[in-house]
Chain A
């Protein structure tokens, strides 16, 4: 008999049940399979009604974040062999409303992302005929890591502040704001600081640091928030002592 492994998968079908339940499935054990492959085996061979998101299967589209054995993971990037002998618990990302089975509602993030103005802000853009903005490799390196965020939402699912205070703008959005602040082409840092100094902004973070630990792309949102707090504090201090200096 071929080897198998058990997956305990969270189910929630709002048209049929009031609360999430758990369903177990036996799937073939293959050492090359990621957890997502096992979910697709279930969907194709055992139970077509299981719902989850996925696309690229190479850790870059950010669709397939779920909670695997209690930790937020991209299911295309963790292997069945990481969880021997099983069973493997697969649940939706925590702190988000569950839409169905393993699918969560991330529309809150999309609204917050837009709020922090993640685009290049300029007083006046130079004409395209003048060519590119010069940016040295060192200048690129100052913001590069924050630009690697794939919006997979693992950092929100790891953030206890977001769990307690859903108004918190959250790690990825702050990291992306900082990505533009540090970009030598951008002039919007003050606008974003004004937004992020408000309630739900950077001051909500108590520096737990879980966001940075779970990031599959080695982005450091906790570091971004720290940098931001320093900038925010310096700005506050200057505006207190030198009211004209903060302008």
Chain B
């Protein structure tokens, strides 16, 4: 076992984690900052984000418009104080990234260009062609290299948070290359590990999105908030789930059913116009578009292929020149993965799990209820995303709340004395657990893949776009059964060197915890709001559920659910109106 220490430890090297690390390095020159990630930072899933990042910068826009689009998009479940802080700080955070070299797409006069996105009344999405997340991540990562205070633990997999005397004081991790156990003590820890799309079988998320940070916090006693809100992006490629960015629609793409009809007009999203209209039709919010697909399928008006039902995304009328300039990655992805050229052919698409509105419960400074523990980015739930995140808010959220969590954690760390030596005993216990439960275990009968497949099947069947209480109850029982079977797991790989079967087992265990949080929260919410649609409770119920769900771990059995009122400042709950 290897013991080391730092002042603030950031878990995760994507946009939120790297932004936090820089914020700490700049806030207090005396603090030792470290970023620990199970992958090299430039592999983090921020890299896959395509369309853009929202921030008010144009004279025809306003902070209130951004706030209203976000709050109505979130079906009034957003905390409005958080949203106000977010829209206020978004422009300066985006400018900072411009100063750090992010290659934003530009207007002819050299100013940053913006495009529209779904659910947005005024164009405010900054973009770097259609590889925005990739460029943001690499700009941030390369910028971190100039800070000597930022140390890295690359390819180190965190297995446990060290909590002593009611305070988070570090982590235990496996150095993947060697299998060595690391005990890293810290005065504050920030979880920025991203989402958990891999809980579902069909997702835009990369293999690494297994809810690690969410499960780590949950196991340490911090609650998970609003986990029932799972965003389906309306346009993923069948089979692979590769994302076809919303920017295709903001540039003027159409969604067509099997008859070539723009079916969204039948779902209260406005009437088709030749040019894109903001907050209308194809530029409606993601939850409503994904729900319309399911209804269209029920009417028998979708197409059917080897990988399930789909509709067509048509961008042919945009022309080759625009597609190559603004959507080159979409063209490349289509050519590579579905063997067609969107300049000449329509793209087959279907809804695909994309983003978790829920996450680790934090306040607007990124602090969780567990002292010393902070969270930011998709792993966290502040909440600015409510019941449905507005497209292009998540990348900006990583910057704004990454910076906020970094500053708050730095201030907290500066006030703490040295960490408690008793935690090395905890780290030794964790090492023993990993040896006994996985590496030295010989009597197990279960394998990883079948358990994972069963979790997938169960989540897709019971916790998808439309849900019922009865199905969710069944899903909860299946997950309990999988938790039991997990204890009987047997690995093929006993090696200490780069053992990816061990990390896959730990990821599966994290995902099972997170899946239980999703299902229990969805069961308790007996209403329909945003992305959470209960066919047995089809209406929004503000009397009972204008409140966040908090899922707490209970020692045995499924999570305990509590509710916490939503913070309303200036926008009383109203109807979500699109296409008017």
Q: Does A245 reach chain B (CB closer than 8 Å)?
A: no
Q: Does B242 reach chain A (CB closer than 8 Å)?
A: yes
What separation, in Å, do the CA atoms of A15 and B179 have in the docked complex?
A: 12
Contact between chains at B206 and A57 (CB < 8 Å): yes
Contact between chains at A134 and B110 (CB < 8 Å): yes
Residues of A within 8 A of B495 (CB): 13, 15-16, 49, 100
The distance from the CB of A64 to the nearest CB of chain B, in whole angstroms, is: 10
Q: Does B81 reach chain A (CB closer than 8 Å)?
A: no
Contact between chains at B242 and A185 (CB < 8 Å): no
What separation, in Å, do the CA atoms of A110 and B145 have in the docked complex?
A: 10
Partner of B145, one of A48, A114, A126, A134: A114
Q: Does A3 reach chain B (CB closer than 8 Å)?
A: no
Residues of A within 8 A of B32 (CB): none
Contact between chains at B108 and A113 (CB < 8 Å): no
Contact between chains at B134 and A60 (CB < 8 Å): yes
User: B290-325 toward A: CB 8 Å interface, digit per residue (1/0)?
Assistant: 000000000000000000000000000000000000
What separation, in Å, do the CA atoms of A114 and B105 have in the docked complex?
A: 26
Q: Does A198 reach chain B (CB closer than 8 Å)?
A: no
Contact between chains at B111 and A132 (CB < 8 Å): yes
- Which chain A residue lies CB-closest to B50? A60
With A119-B100, A119-B142 as contacts: A14 and B48 at CB distance below 8 Å: no
- Which chain B residue lies CB-closest to A113? B145
Contact between chains at B142 and A118 (CB < 8 Å): yes
Residues of A within 8 A of B447 (CB): 48
Contact between chains at B497 and A15 (CB < 8 Å): yes
Interface of A is mostly: loop
Contact between chains at B98 and A132 (CB < 8 Å): yes
- Which chain A residue lies CB-closest to B237? A58
With A58-B240, A131-B95, A135-B110 as contacts: A183 and B449 at CB distance below 8 Å: no
Interface residues on A, range: 35 or more
The distance from the CB of A182 to the nearest CB of chain B, in whole angstroms, is: 11
B-contacting residues, A26-44, CB 8 Å: 32, 43-44
Contact between chains at A128 and B92 (CB < 8 Å): yes
With A15-B496, A44-B449 as contacts: A137 and B100 at CB distance below 8 Å: no
Q: Does A120 reach chain B (CB closer than 8 Å)?
A: yes
Partner of B47, one of A15, A61, A136: A61
The distance from the CB of A112 to the nearest CB of chain B, in whole angstroms, is: 11
Q: Does A52 reach chain B (CB closer than 8 Å)?
A: yes
User: A33-76 toward B: CB 8 Å interface, digit per residue (1/0)?
Assistant: 00000000001110111011111111111110000000000000
With A58-B240, A147-B138 as contacts: A47 and B98 at CB distance below 8 Å: no
B-contacting residues, A64-119, CB 8 Å: 77, 99-101, 103, 105-107, 110, 113-114, 117-119
User: A2-37 toward B: CB 8 Å interface, digit per residue (1/0)?
Assistant: 000000000001111000000000000000100000
Contact between chains at A120 and B101 (CB < 8 Å): yes
The distance from the CB of A158 to the nearest CB of chain B, in whole angstroms, is: 20
Among A138-146, A207-215, A225-233, the stretch in contact with B: A138-146
Contact between chains at A147 and B45 (CB < 8 Å): no
What separation, in Å, do the CA atoms of A206 and B131 have in the docked complex?
A: 33
What separation, in Å, do the CA atoms of A106 and B491 have in the docked complex?
A: 27
Contact between chains at A132 and B103 (CB < 8 Å): no
Contact between chains at B101 and A186 (CB < 8 Å): yes
What separation, in Å, do the CA atoms of A176 and B135 have in the docked complex?
A: 13
Contact between chains at A119 and B146 (CB < 8 Å): yes
Contact between chains at A147 and B498 (CB < 8 Å): no
- Which chain B residue lies CB-closest to A117? B146
Among B3-11, B35-43, B261-269, B566-574, the stretch in contact with A: B35-43
What separation, in Å, do the CA atoms of A144 and B128 have in the docked complex?
A: 10
Contact between chains at A49 and B492 (CB < 8 Å): yes
A-contacting residues, B205-262, CB 8 Å: 206-208, 239-240, 242-243
Q: Does B485 reach chain A (CB closer than 8 Å)?
A: no
What separation, in Å, do the CA atoms of A186 and B106 have in the docked complex?
A: 17
Residues of B within 8 A of A133 (CB): 98-99
With A58-B242, A128-B96 as contacts: A134 and B498 at CB distance below 8 Å: no
Contact between chains at A106 and B40 (CB < 8 Å): yes
The distance from the CB of A62 to the nearest CB of chain B, in whole angstroms, is: 6
Q: Does B448 reach chain A (CB closer than 8 Å)?
A: yes
Contact between chains at A140 and B497 (CB < 8 Å): no
Contact between chains at A140 and B105 (CB < 8 Å): yes
The distance from the CB of B114 to the nearest CB of chain A, in whole angstroms, is: 12
With A51-B499, A54-B207 as contacts: A128 and B99 at CB distance below 8 Å: yes
Contact between chains at B99 and A49 (CB < 8 Å): no
Q: Which of A51, A77, A150 has the most CB of B within 10 A?
A: A51
Q: Does A178 reach chain B (CB closer than 8 Å)?
A: no
What separation, in Å, do the CA atoms of A105 and B493 have in the docked complex?
A: 20
Contact between chains at B177 and A99 (CB < 8 Å): yes
- Which chain A residue lies CB-closest to B452? A44
Contact between chains at B100 and A136 (CB < 8 Å): no
Contact between chains at B207 and A55 (CB < 8 Å): yes
The 8 closest A-B pairs by CB, nearest first: A134-B110, A48-B492, A44-B449, A100-B498, A55-B206, A49-B493, A120-B101, A56-B206
**27 A–B contacts, CB within 8 A, in A order:** A48-B492, A48-B501, A51-B493, A53-B500, A54-B207, A55-B206, A57-B242, A59-B336, A60-B48, A60-B131, A61-B44, A61-B47, A62-B42, A100-B497, A101-B498, A105-B177, A128-B95, A128-B99, A132-B111, A136-B109, A137-B106, A137-B107, A137-B108, A140-B103, A147-B135, A148-B131, A183-B101
| B residues adjacent to A (C-beta < 8 A) | 39-40, 42-45, 47-48, 92, 95-96, 98-101, 103-112, 131, 134-135, 138, 142-143, 145-146, 154, 177, 206-208, 239-240, 242-243, 329, 332-333, 336-337, 447-449, 491-493, 495-501, 504
